[in-house]
Chains A and B, each alone.
Chain A
Amino acid sequence: MKRTFSLSAFLGLAVLSSIAIGVGQDAPPTSKGSALAGKIAGRILFEGEKPKVKPLTVGAAQSVGCCAASENVDDQDRSLLIGEGLGIANVVVSLTVKDAKVQVSEKPVVYNQKSCRFEPHVLVVPVGTTVSFTNSDKCVHNVHLYAFHNTGFNRAVPEGKDAKGTFKRAEAIKVSCDIHPWMAGYVVVTDATHWALTDAKGGFSLEGIPAGTYELKVWHEKLGKAKAEVTVKADGIAEPIELKMAPKKPRTRRRK
């Protein structure tokens, strides 16, 4: 009896996951668990007063060709987006389920440059993914990767073209364009099996997680890293997580 149950659960999941892959063409492939899909939901909140974020400095000479003549370049600084109730957007939340398999997209995942901005601001991909950095603008961009654990590159990408990179090690890679210095984004290569990116209100949810206790890892480009312990009960439910992140103090020199 028990055996039959788990088998059917497995089959159900397999169907679900195949649908998820089918749908997840635009979104990065989300990860799948094994038996007993649980769910973790929560929010990441900013601790302290909401800082005032200045708009980006967009040079007039540099922004030629970025947008149609009538439009201006969007100068919103997305490096720290704090929404309703101090929720932080673009935080990567991830955890690793032992023995869970991650489906890596066979086709390159697109990371676009549009109107002199990276789209999306943060892209999360599993280890082994090939990312195609495309240029949908009418001007030349150069894709400059600041990678430490992967071989980075710095390539000019004229309009309509792309440059590809395959990332085999987990790390958060800053991507920028030197021609348009306000452009910055992140490709987060993760070796976790489950991950999510917070929405504008700082909310996230991770699904398909079997019962157990996990270490939830949190990363934000400005606020750094955080960790939390989370338990998914046998009924597949976990306490909602609420995690606060504060601005980093200025670093002091570490060497004597």
Chain B
Amino acid sequence: MADRGDTHYSVPSLNLWFLVSSVLFLGTMVWAVVDDWNAEWKQYQRDFRSLELAKAQSARVALEAEGAMGLRDDLSRAVYDAEMALASQGSALQDAERRAYELKEERFRIEEDFKKSKSLLNWQVYGGEKAVLEGDKDIPQLEAAELAAYRNDVAAKGLLFEEATIEWEAEKQVVADMRSAMAKAEKDLATGTKALTQVEDRIETLAPGDVATQVANFVRDDFPGLEFIGPNLKVQKFIPAGITFELNFTKKGRIDMCSTCHMGIEDEAFVGEAQPQAAHPRLDLFLSSKSPHPVKEFGCTICHRGAGEGLSFQHSDHRPSNEEEARIWDDSRHWHKQHHWDYPMLREQDVEASCIQCHKTSMELIADSAPRVTEGYRLFEEKGCYACHKVDWFPTDRRPGPSLTNLAAKLTPEFTNAWIADPRGFRPTTDMPHFFNLENWPENEVVVTSDYGAGREIFGGEWNRAAVAAITTFLYDRHLLDAVDAIPADVRAAADAERGREVMNLSGCFACHNTAPFMGEIDVLPALSNNVTERNQMGPNLRGVATKLNADWLYRWILDPNSYWPHTRMPDLRLSEADAMDITAYVFEDPDGIFTDTPHGWDADPEYQSSLDPEVLREQARWYFQKDGRTILESRLESEWGETAVLASRLGERLVMTYGCFSCHEISGMETMMPIGTELSSWGSKTVDKLDFGQHYLKEVAGLPKLDHHYREGWLERKLLRPRVYDVDKVKVPKDRARMPSFGFSKDEAQAVATFVLGLVNDEVPGKKMAPNAEQATSDAGMRAVRQNNCMSCHLVDNSLVTFRDESGSLQTVRGMLQPLLDEVMPPSMNSMEAFAADREVAEFNADEEIEEVIIKLLEAEPDYGGPGELHFLEVDDLVDVTPSRGGSFVGQVLEYYMFGTAVAGENGEAVAWTHGGVDGQGVLQIEDVDGQVRPYSATELDKLRWTFAPPVLLNEGHKLQPDWFYNFLASPSEIRKQVRVKMPTFTFDPGEAEAIVGYFGNKARWEWHSRYARTLRLAMGRELLTGLSDPDTHGWDMPADARNWPIFPLANITEPGPGLSAEDMEQRMAATPAFILDAATIRSIEAGYKTDVLASFGKLKAWGDSEGFSMVGPLKRGTETSKRQTRAYLDARHAFLEVGESVAVEGVNCYQCHPNGSTYVETPISWAPSLDGVATRLRPAWVQEWLWNPPATYVGTAMAVNFGSDEPQYQAQYPSSTNAEQIDAVMDWLYNKDLREVDIQSATIAEQAGRIEELEAQQE
């Protein structure tokens, strides 16, 4: 079209523009199509598909190798044979089928007829009733006879129908019978080839064989511009209900598309693959539908953060875990930091931070699965961070530092001053942080020019020294007590330092304290208490204490810690005055050079008051009292604060308030002040722009990486390691300088605390905010109380583990311990493989022999290896790992003292082993017993020493103790085993702590019962029961034929130890009954105590166990159980048995030879057993019954003998023609009523009432 000249535009140029824009538009479209076709995630999905295909193909190869093809051929042939067999019967089957069909049709006809006559009858009846009701004359009223005819008709037709049905069913059965062989063969084929069929189907889907599907798939997946029509490659997403995040002041639901690229994330088959195809770690805990965190409910970003809707590596805001990874990502994926997304993904090492948002009130429960954030949480508590920085949910509120109310009675001002200035200078391991002489007050830099710029210059060092001295002055100005009561003269006169060493080593002091040498120093005489264990760092290291304390204070403190510091975690050991005095004498006489040892360079500054330079003090007062106004302040400085001591005290008070000392320490007059730190309840939601990165964030500082102002982790880490670093090179007046003290964190510790703080976010997880249920809450509180009171230093709660390689080369772990190596008497260390290797070297050196084999003593039922107390032999090279028992590290220390004493100086100053009692004539160490006698103890009886003189194990303790008794015992411990010199202390529990401890042990036992049952069952089923009971020479005493009906299967002490049924054999045996089908993996999973499988499948296992005649008491019920043995009705019926029981126990078994009879003890403490008084209130009957049947099955190595349970029942003189079970029954009757024999009537009534109340409660539920 030509340009007519009447337009404002030129058509040719318009055409040109049109052309250009069309081309551009087309280009853009092509670009868009290609770009979409070539999207990053599509490539990942294609990769994933080939990986999946490869896996399926190799699975098929594996199946073929197993002979799956042959099996299929065989099974197919069986089907074919069955078909042929059927065909060989000629037309019989067709005839039968035809007959069945005809009969069916006939039956249908009769049924219709039957229905019709029923409706007719109904109609007549209805009509009659309606007529009567409404008086409707139109409807004919039937005579009774006519109605009866209808009825008869219905009945007759019904009969016909029944007959037809029976006939049809019979014919059907004929057909089914004829086809049954065929049907079975077909079913066998389907089940036998299930795995193969699945794999082949998968391969067919992924790589179809036929060309048409291949073409279709190509178009769907790979044809640019058409692939959107019916794509196989799709964006995957999780939309967890109710989980939101904050976006520009609104709450937005989370949509997580992560699995678009991470396609194998939920699939176990992809464990260990490269990213992005890899499966998530710990699928038992995360993502899978069986786990507690199914991905459909939680999504991804609630834990990982980042941009869930991002569909590329960059846009989803991936985070490298370190600089190295960042570099690699930059090179390989052009990764760079996101600038405009407030929720960067958490680094891999910080992901555990997210656990906190739901697990605030169950932090103890997740400790094993989330070690890093747990470490941070515990450091936050241990270092007392919570005392200054509020965290709204934090469960601990005791002041972490000692009370300073009566400081003057304990410490000298000289010590206190030096301590405040440099706590780690005296005790490198202290939790008290450094407040002074840090980098924002450099020693030689001018802080201010005094007198409003007119006076002399004051340097950082002077300023700090004066401040410390001022605080000391204030603390000693405000105290209530100058000195504690002096030690009575007669007590002091009888002091025995040598005995004090033994008292200190055996009473339990070193369960919480140690005396390890200062870092880098080595003791000439390595005292037993120098060993540092996981748990003896609860209290302070006691090295050097004699230089800071006075003897009177220490004596009083040992006798009653609470009178000096009411909230101390130090419990009351109820020591005698003599014991306390001897300890005090040992500490102050210090024969071993431990308690007067101080670190190199430490000096309790005797001249500290010279630091109180009035000019510096006045200048500080000018800054810290600035608000009072210059005029008032100056006049005050001239008059009432004119005296240096007064000025120092007033300034000291202000500094204490400034630095918040009262947050950790109780100081008179400051009890109610609010903590001074920033609240951290939602620090993890703080955005980076709110942080001051200081002047030097681009520099590397003392080994710390450059700070990245996009992220908060580095800021936190640097703050924790160098709390004043952000002040450096800033102009800040003294008052405004940072006050956070330095805790001397290691890098790992700082990172752990940082992870914890990152998790303190204000995001809510509505609906799923895991409020733990009552049981979990109790367990959590109980576990915390157990940890905070350091119960597990003395008490073992879980057995140690040994991991080894079995014959097939796979790793196995059993609950067990290693037996002593070669000629040693102590078992090797189970702390780590390094410690084991060291012990191995020593043993080989001592015996001059190479170790080839190690022996594992099993501590519980391990169905693949044997029962408790049995041994498993192993080549030493197959030992892979050892895990120490949970708790009980102090037990080793007690035993070591009994066997080796502790090192002290010999005549020539060399280290020799010694104890207070010395050695007997044959070189055996002698220990003082509780009766004051000194006796030798032999290492051969290590087991017995352990069970007699060490603190008791708390394995399955909830099953053993009656909760009421347990609670009362915790509140006020009573003596159970008099011979134990380690004292169960009296703790000052916070409200609820004791209940929680009781509840925790109950829950633990209740839960663990399932695993115990499953393991014991499998072991029991594999063992041959003996039948030839009458011939004493054919067998040992063990395994009577009724053994499985005993309350606990007699696992230990059998003449033929060894494994039980394999899980696979058990699966087969169970499969014999259709109701009990369980696969081997599930059986193992129940044995491991995996919650989901226990809940889902334990019932089946138990039912099968019952059907096999296996019996084990449990599970434990909640709350207090009343023993039926104490009810009146029971006693009325069984009264006579109390005497029989007593006679069996006292004359037959001879209980009182070891157990004290009232207050009468037998000769030697090593034979003493717990008192039988109070068994009725202390122990659960179910536990006692198990225990009496077979003590070493409960506690491996116990000194309690197997008294009942032989194939030929004993004690017939006391209880004629009785069985083992009857004897135990009678003994228990006696045990549960022996204390009440005279007054049992009344008690029985109370017990009965309790029983009725329980019944009523049960009914209400």
Contacts and interface: CB of A to CB of B under 8 A. Distances in A.
Interface of A: 51-54, 57, 59, 61-62, 80, 107-108, 130, 139-140, 142, 144, 146, 148-156, 158, 161-166, 174, 176, 178-179, 181, 222, 224-225, 247-256
B924 interface: yes
A142 B943 CA distance: 16
Interface string B517-554: 00000000010100100000000000000000000000
Most buried by A among B1035, B1037, B1200: B1037
Given A153-B1192, A154-B1202, A256-B526, A59 B941 contact: no
Given A251-B899, A252-B903, A151 B922 contact: no
Contact of A250 (B913, B942, B1033): B913
Contact of B1037 (A151, A155, A225, A249): A155
A6 to B, nearest CB: 36
B900 A181 contact: no
Interface stretch (B33-41, B431-439, B672-680, B1050-1058): B1050-1058
A163 B923 contact: no
Nearest to B1164: A181
Given A148-B820, A178-B1154, 8 more contacts: A146-B944, A153-B1053, A158-B1148, A250-B925, A251-B939, A252-B913, A253-B526, A255-B842
Interface in B1191-1225: 1191-1192, 1198-1203, 1206, 1208, 1210-1211
A237 to B, nearest CB: 30
By Cβ-Cβ distance, the 9 closest A-B pairs, closest first, are A59-B1163, A142-B1201, A164-B1036, A153-B1053, A253-B900, A156-B1203, A179-B1153, A250-B923, A252-B913
Dominant secondary structure at the B interface: loop
B896 interface: yes
Nearest to A154: B1201
A174 B941 contact: yes
Nearest to B522: A256
A154 B1200 CA distance: 7
A156 B1147 CA distance: 13
Contacts of B528: 253
Given A174-B941, A253-B913, A139 B923 contact: no
B1192 A57 contact: no
B900 A144 contact: no
Nearest to B911: A252
Contacts of A252: 900, 903, 911-913
A153 B1050 CA distance: 12
Given A139-B1150, A151-B869, A252-B912, A158 B1210 contact: yes
Interface in B889-948: 896, 899-903, 911-913, 919, 921-925, 939-944
Contacts of B531: 255
B834 to A, nearest CB: 12
B1201 A178 contact: yes
B823 interface: yes
20 contacts: A51-B922, A57-B1164, A59-B1163, A80-B922, A107-B1033, A140-B1148, A146-B941, A146-B942, A150-B871, A151-B1054, A151-B1057, A154-B1201, A166-B1055, A178-B1201, A179-B1167, A181-B1166, A251-B899, A252-B903, A253-B900, A253-B913
Contacts of A148: 819-820, 855
A58 B528 CA distance: 34
Interface string B91-126: 000000000000000000000000000000000000
B1167 A178 contact: yes
Nearest to B826: A254
Contacts of A225: 823
Contacts of A179: 1150, 1153-1154, 1167
Nearest to A106: B1033
A253 B1053 contact: no
A255 B530 CA distance: 11
Contact of A156 (B919, B1149, B1199): B1149
Nearest to A249: B923
Contacts of A153: 869, 1052-1053, 1192, 1202
Contacts, number: 151
Interface string B814-829: 0000011001111001
Contacts of B1191: 154
A146 B940 contact: yes
B1201 A144 contact: yes
A144 B1033 contact: no
B1167 A247 contact: no
B870 interface: yes
A178 B1199 contact: yes
Nearest to B1152: A61
A247 B1167 CA distance: 27
A135 to B, nearest CB: 11
Contacts of B1164: 57, 59, 181
Nearest to B1196: A152
B1199 A248 contact: no
Given A140-B1149, A166-B1055, A62 B1163 contact: yes
A163 B1036 contact: yes
Contacts of B1202: 153-156
Interface in B852-903: 855, 869-871, 896, 899-903
Nearest to A225: B823
Given A164-B1036, A250-B919, A62 B1153 contact: yes
B839 interface: yes
A54 to B, nearest CB: 8
Contacts of B944: 144, 146, 178
Contacts of B846: 254
Interface string B1228-1244: 00000000000000000
B1162 interface: yes
Interface in B1050-1070: 1052-1055, 1057
A19 to B, nearest CB: 24
A47 B807 CA distance: 48
Nearest to A160: B1210
Nearest to B820: A148
Contacts of A176: 941
Given A139-B1150, A179-B1154, A251 B1036 contact: no
B1162 A59 contact: yes
Most buried by B among A248, A249, A251: A251
A164 B1166 contact: no
Contacts of A155: 1037, 1053, 1201-1202, 1206
A185 to B, nearest CB: 12
Most buried by B among A53, A150, A158: A158
Contacts of A151: 869-871, 1052-1054, 1057
A84 B942 CA distance: 34
Contacts of A108: 1033
A251 B900 contact: yes
Interface in B1007-1041: 1032-1033, 1035-1037
Nearest to B855: A149
A38 B919 CA distance: 44
A110 B222 CA distance: 86
Nearest to B919: A250
Contacts of B911: 252
A165 B1201 CA distance: 15
A62 B1162 contact: yes
Contacts of B1201: 142, 144, 154-156, 178
A21 B685 CA distance: 87
A222 B922 contact: yes
Contact of B922 (A146, A247, A253): A247
Nearest to B869: A151
A253 B896 contact: yes
Contacts of A250: 901, 912-913, 919, 923-925
Contacts of A107: 1033
